[in-house]
C-alpha cells in the first residue's frame, strides 16, 4: 500500500507541476473551467488507485523494491509426490516488521489529524451560524437556498451541501447595492457545487498530507473557484466591474475560517 501511495503521489505531483507551468503562462487566456477540469483529473489520479501497466516506470528502480522477475522456464524435472514439510504456522505467527506497519501508522495519523481538524473547525463554525437571522431578498433563489445574516461576520460565505446557506454580515440585507454582487458570487458557488468540490480537495490533501505540492494544488484550485465565481458575478451584473470591485473592497480580505465553505473576498483578477 505504501508503494501504491508513493506511486500515486509522484505521478500526481508531476501533473500538478505541469498544470502550474501552463497556468503561469496562460492563466488569463484560458477559461477557469478548463483549469478546474485539469485539477479534477489530478484529484482522480491522487485518490483512485488505478494505474496502466507500463514496462517503463520509475517504480521499477531498485530503490522502490525488486522489479517483477521474468517468467521462470518450465522445468522438465520430475516432481516428487511426497509433500515437503513447510513451516507455515511459524511464519504466519511472526509479527509484522516495523518497516511495514510504521509507515502506515504515520500516514494514518496524518490523515486523521487533517480530517479531524477540518471537522472540528466545521462544527465550531456551524454552532456560531445558528445565531444567524433570515434575510429577505428580491433576487430569485434556487430551491433550498437560504440567505441569512450574522452579527460579527467579516465577509460573506456559503456553507452546506444539500441545503446551501448564503451567510452575509449583519445589516447587508438592508443594502441591496452591496447585497446583489455578493449574492451573484455566492450563487455561482452554489450552482457549481463548490462546497462539495472543496470537500474533495480536503480529502485529497488529507490522503497526501505529506506532499506540499498537493497543498499548493488545494490553494490554487480554491483560487480558481473564486475567480470563476467572480467572472460569473460580473457577467450577471451586466459587466458592471466597478460596482463589483467596490463590493469586494468593502469586505475584509481574509482567509476562510473553514474548509467546507466558500467565501466572498478578493481572489485576484476576474476573467
Q: Encode the chain (271 residues) as per-residue pLDDT tens digits.
A: 788 899 999 999 999 999 999 999 998 888 889 999 999 999 999 999 875 554 544 445 454 444 445 444 545 454 444 444 444 444 455 667 777 788 899 999 999 999 999 999 999 988 989 899 999 888 889 999 999 999 988 889 999 988 899 999 998 878 888 888 899 999 999 999 999 999 999 999 999 999 999 999 999 999 999 999 988 988 888 756 665 655 554 554 444 445 667 766 544 443 4
> Within the chain, where are the H helices?
2-26, 32-47, 88-92, 98-129, 176-192, 194-207, 212-236, 241-249
What's the pLDDT at 240? 62
Collapsing DSSP to helix, strand or coil, 210 comes out as coil
Residue among 261, 266, 190 at smallest CA distance from 230: 266
Q: Which three cell numbers stand for residue 9?
A: 503521489
Give the closest residue to 193 by CA, choosing from 218, 228, 242, 239: 228
The SS3 of residue 68 is coil
**Which grid coordinates are listed for 51?**
494505474
Residue 248: the pLDDT is 58
For 230, left (φ over 0), alpha (ψ -120 to 50), or beta? alpha
pLDDT for 51: 58
Q: How confident is the model at residue 65, as a pLDDT?
A: 46
Q: How far apart are CA 217 and CA 258, in angstroms?
A: 17
| Listed residue (154, 146, 226) closest to 194, CA to CA | 226
Radius of gyration of the CA atoms of the chain, in A? 26
Rounded-to-integer distance, Cα 262 and Cα 271, Å: 19
Amino acid at each position: 500500500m505504501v508503494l501504491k501511495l508513493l506511486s500515486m503521489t509522484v505521478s500526481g505531483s508531476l501533473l500538478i507541476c505541469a498544470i502550474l507551468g501552463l497556468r503561469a503562462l496562460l492563466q488569463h487566456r484560458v477559461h477557469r473551467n478548463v483549469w478546474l477540469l485539469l485539477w479534477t483529473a489530478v484529484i482522480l489520479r491522487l485518490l483512485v488507485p488505478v494505474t496502466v501497466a507500463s514496462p517503463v516506470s520509475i517504480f521499477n528502480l531498485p530503490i522502490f523494491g525488486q522489479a517483477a522477475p521474468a517468467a521462470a522456464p518450465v522445468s522438465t524435472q520430475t516432481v516428487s509426490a511426497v509433500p515437503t514439510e513447510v513451516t507455515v504456522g511459524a511464519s504466519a505467527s511472526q509479527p509484522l516488521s516495523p518497516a511495514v506497519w510504521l509507515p502506515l501508522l504515520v500516514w494514518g495519523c496524518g490523515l486523521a489529524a487533517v480530517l479531524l481538524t477540518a471537522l472540528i473547525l466545521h462544527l465550531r463554525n456551524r454552532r456560531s451560524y445558528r445565531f444567524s437571522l433570515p434575510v429577505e431578498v428580491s433576487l430569485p433563489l434556487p430551491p433550498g437556498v437560504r440567505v441569512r445574516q450574522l452579527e460579527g461576520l467579516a465577509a460573506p460565505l456559503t456553507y452546506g451541501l444539500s441545503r446551501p446557506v448564503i451567510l452575509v454580515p449583519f445589516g447587508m440585507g438592508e443594502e441591496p447595492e452591496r447585497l446583489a454582487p455578493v449574492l451573484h458570487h455566492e450563487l455561482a458557488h452554489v450552482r457549481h457545487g463548490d462546497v462539495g468540490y472543496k470537500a474533495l480537495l480536503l480529502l485529497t490533501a488529507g490522503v497526501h498530507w505529506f506532499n506540499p505540492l498537493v497543498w499548493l494544488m488545494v490553494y490554487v484550485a480554491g483560487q480558481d473557484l473564486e475567480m470563476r465565481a467572480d467572472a460569473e458575478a460580473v457577467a450577471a451584473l451586466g459587466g458592471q466591474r466597478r460596482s463589483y470591485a467596490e463590493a469586494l473592497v468593502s469586505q475584509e480580505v481574509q482567509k476562510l475560517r473553514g474548509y467546507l465553505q466558500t467565501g466572498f473576498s478578493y481572489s485576484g483578477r476576474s476573467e
